[in-house]
Amino acid sequence: MSNKNKIPWEKHRLEFEHENQMFRADITYWAKDYSIDVIKPSEKYIAGAHIMLAAPAIYSIHRIAMKNMKMLDLISICKERIISEFNL
């Protein structure tokens, strides 16, 4: 497989508090897909979601402006998913 066909996966450590509960997770992502590995309060894998390649939207942690592209705030999405998974 050539380098041009490799997906540029990245990792981001997410730490936040919600209702006096501390959360820590690793987000593995690229522009069109993500998953969450929760570390704290207990270990849990949360499957993410995929955006079709043809759709004019991408997941983003860093705010960057791209013409004709909707930027989905991955931090907010992941926080909501984690809180939901822990029923808080």
Looking at residue 5, its pLDDT comes to 64
- pTM score, whole prediction: 0.85
For the chain, the domain total comes to 1
Looking at residue 1, its pLDDT comes to 47
Q: Give bridge partners of residue 30 from the DSSP assignment.
A: 33
Q: Split the chain (88 residues) into runs of 10 and give each run's mean pLDDT.
A: 70 96 96 96 95 90 79 94 90
Residue numbers of the domain that contains 45: 3-85
User: Could you tell me the CA-to-CA distances from 2 to 5, 8, 28, 73 in Å, in that order?
Assistant: 6, 13, 22, 30
